[in-house]
Amino acid sequence: MQQQDMIKKIGDGNGFIAALDQSGGSTPKALLGYGIEESAYSNDDEMFALIHKMRSRIISSPAFSGDKVIGAILFEKTMDGTVDGKPTPTALIDKGVVPFIKIDKGLEDEANGVQMMKPMPELDMLLTRAKALGVFGTKERSVIQSANREGIAAVVAQQFEIGRQVISHGMMPIIEPEVNIKSETRAECDQILLEEILKNLDAMPEGRQVMLKLSLPVKPGLFDPLVDHPKVLRVVALSGGYKRPEACAELAKNRGVIASFSRALLEDLRAQMSDDEFNASLAGAIDEIFKGSTQKSVVAA
């Protein structure tokens, strides 16, 4: 796929984006969910080798193809690894799946009701390397815990600043200011976030685009103005802690929003499964998330 093919697939394609980007802090939990205890590895290298083996098994599965999975977000070590003897981004592209990379280095401590991204001093080098490997875009995550406008404005401003740096490398940023779905002021967070994103979109030069990865809103359809915005290539949703059936049901209520699920995609997969069991379980998850992404239950007002 050439760059324009990737833009078209991500912008218009039927399907969803798989989030295979668990990093050092979340990898032990992901492995435990996959049926691998912490006693199975003794250092980070062994831990990352096991999670790469899991991701390779997913990407290699016949269930995982560009027919329903239009993109995949990778952790840096996964990008640098191989799948079936090919660099991971190449293996994805060969299956019709557009590769992205997670670029944030984790979160700062909470202040003003939000967690900003930690500094990324080596980002330019990472972007240059990722672009050379055929990676189309990036993903960077912040977290909003409560409805503090000053904090939310700062999170969104930082996200768009990093987004501009990504665009300067000829890549597509996925801006992810996640709202904690357990927040007591979640609906207010959603509304403030919408307003701040629109301000930053309107300030972008004409002809530039970003993607948005957002928590599913309390009010279905709240993010319609973002779905329709000419400077937004696609709006995708994270599962945010919902189990897959609930995440897909909430997703289906939001026109034009597709999934970018991690836990909700992987929750039934186990290392101990036979290949047939693994492929069948993955196919079922992909079908359910594909349906939530493409078959909407939106009721006209």
CB 251 within 8 A of CB 213: no
Total domains in the chain come to 1
Domain assignment present for residue 126? The answer is yes
Domain assignment present for residue 45? The answer is yes
The residue to which tokens 């329903």 are assigned: 68
Domain assignment present for residue 223? The answer is yes
Alpha-carbon gap, residue 291 to 154, rounded angstroms? 35
Domain assignment present for residue 84? The answer is yes
CB 194 within 8 A of CB 171: no
- Write down the pLDDT at residue 301: 45
Catalytic residue, candidates 140, 176, 250, 288: 176
Task: Give the tens place of pLDDT for each residue, 151-200.
Answer: 999 999 999 999 999 999 999 999 999 999 999 999 999 999 999 999 99
Domain assignment present for residue 299? The answer is no
Task: Give the tens place of pLDDT for each residue, 233-279.
Answer: 999 999 888 999 999 999 999 999 999 999 899 999 999 999 999 99
DSSP for residue 95: T
Domain assignment present for residue 186? The answer is yes
Domain assignment present for residue 132? The answer is yes
What pTM was estimated for this model as a whole? 0.95
Note if 76 is an active site residue: no
Domain assignment present for residue 148? The answer is yes
- Residue 298 scores a pLDDT above 90: no
CATH number at residue 182: 3.20.20.70
Name the phi and psi angles at 151, rounded to 5: -65, -45
Catalytic residue, candidates 77, 213, 250, 288: 213
Task: Give the tens place of pLDDT for each residue, 95-129.
Answer: 999 999 999 999 999 999 999 999 999 999 999 99
Task: Give the tens place of pLDDT for each residue, 57-107.
Answer: 999 999 999 999 999 999 999 999 999 999 999 999 999 999 999 999 999
Note if 253 is an active site residue: no
CA atoms within 13 A on the CB side of 175: 30
Residue-number span of the structural domain to which 44 is assigned: 3-294
Q: What is the DSSP string of 38-67?
A: GGG-SSHHHHHHHHHHHHHHHHHSTT-STT
Alpha-carbon gap, residue 224 to 157, rounded angstroms? 21
